[in-house]
Structure 1
Amino acid sequence: MTQPLLQISDLKIVFGVGEQAAVAVRNVSFEIAAGEMVGLVGESGCGKSLTCRAAIRLLPHNARIAAGSVMFEGRDVTRMGHRELRNLRAREVGMIFQDPFTSLNPVFRVGAQVAETLRVNLELTAAQAKRETIRLFTEAGIPDAERWFAAFPHELSGGMRQRVMIALALASKPKLLIADEPTTALDVTTQAQILKLLRRFREEHGVAVLLVSHDFGVIAETCDRVLVMYGGHVVEKADIEAVYRTPQHPYTRALLASIPQMHTTGPRRRRKSIDGRPPESGEVLPGCIFEPRCAYAREACKSVDMKLEPAASNQYTACPFVRAGGEQRLEATVEGAQ
């Protein structure tokens, strides 16, 4: 069996220490193969960004990995020394952060920031770094790249800044690209262009991509597989087509049912929202963490184990009652259940 590029096992991330420690990510496990595109979807605050940052040990100062392992090409990231960790971040894993404006230094020109990365990580001369930066800008879809090389971040639109961030993340030709909600705050046309750009880099350069989003539509358009997160847990894992065809967790089904759709025929339907509120980071609930908001909940849900187990072909769910079938089984399709 081929070794995964990234393999995360039983990951637990906490804020604080001792009795005051709050668990933000609980027992998360998944893997990404070379050249694969995997989506991570869920509501805000469910632990998506923390899980991604754990892959390169770039957590907030008050957060720590309390348990589990993060393996990159067979090497344990949690045990890497400073030099090895710096090399991982600089050469092997690129990251596109959620807000490109705050990720770029406002007092330096965008071209100089990318060129500096190339000079430090690839040991290029200043002239070589400038030529490579202009080439990366052009490949990232920035028109008249030589002109924008000398621009400051505030002079670029949101879409242009995101393209600079993509060029920066890909500057050292990484094997894995982590994109943390790269289409946030962009208009739909620019969103489509950014997603198309990520797919093209994957196809042309064989870069594996972990794409984080709260938008199922973005994930469906781009990814091969999807991980659905809720309250710090991965509650479902499956191929993207299988998730749309037969969602195996009530939360996944509720997310899909809430997506706005354009109906060209038939009566217009009001999309369903998910009642209640998501759990706060570190909140501890007995049994299934989705039970207070679940339309299929029953008393036994308060004592179940939130563990992913097979439910169907290439599908895993944390809901034991879906796996067991019977009256608690979800309908075959989301649309047919409405």
Structure 2
Amino acid sequence: MLSELPIRKIIHVDMDAFYASVAEMDDPSLKGKAIAVGGGGTRGVINAASYEARKFGVKSAMSGRLAIKLCPHLIFVKTDFARYTEISKKVRSIFFDYTDLVEPLSLDEAYLDVTENKKGNPSASLLAQEIRTRIFNELGLTASAGISINKFIAKVASDYNKPNGQKTVNPEEVLQFLEDLDIRKFYGVGKVTAEKMYQKGIFTGKDLKSKSLEYLDDNFGKSGRYYYHVVRGIHTSEVKPNRIRKSLAAERTFSENLSSEIFMLEKLEHIAEEVAKRLSKSKVSGKTVTLKIKYSDFTLQTRSKTLPYFVSDKSIILETAKDLLFQEKMSNSVRLLGISLSNLNTEDSKKKKKEIKEEPVSVQLKFEF
């Protein structure tokens, strides 16, 4: 029962079109125009798009070539991760003025647990409004927020009034909110899963809630249990201030397709060097090396090998990637190569296996938000 679970006050803050907004902040002449971050050249892939560009169907992971067809007046700007990181740190410093329980998901979004907060303010909604106002006044950027009793609902709610808005789902509103929600809005339901659910007559949270746990397990595997619980407002994951990095990667998209493995080896050396630099900077190492290959027809293939020891050295990473490259014959010319290292020494296997156990507490759903 929802009333027997721990009730927290969670805010999910999501910066609006973050990369594009930073570009506009640094170059005011771009304000209000259709811009794409990355994606320049004949083979570039877009990292982010302004809301003006999104109106034309431009979105992240789209090729620049397709984007310019959809939006002929699109302006391409260079990606600048150093700048995004700099601004992201300033945003997070604002978060820490309110709570130490901040869990970043990426440079542009984070969860905050404000059940107990540094301002002594019982209203999570007012705190979210204050945080968003400070981000705008101090950095000139807008953010959206979702506020509710757990991370799942807060995450869903933050997308509700984008851009530059917020949505609070009070405890007594949770079940109705989830029942009315389009299944595509459920965090964790991707495009493929949504299509599968449509085929089975599941269009809303109410439809999903009508399915038994056994049915969801049979049709959606391990995710079935997750869907069964979240549609009932049950999501006990805590805000974790120190998120454990699961992998580290680097990749390159080439200006021309590569058909010769000799040229691929040359590119892999640069990629392995970049991975090694990032491992050194993060002070981590890993056991599993994965080679990512995207072919000219956009099909994607990954090949992995787990070593018996942790590695961070460029030469070992490169040699393992080479072995994976020659593991089987290429089916086509290649437009992208990537190397990632996972199974990192930052992961605590005991923590991974340990289930989060909460002591049920009886609370009234009339809870000030």
TM over 0.5: no
Rg larger in structure: 2
- Band of TM-score, shorter chain: under 0.3
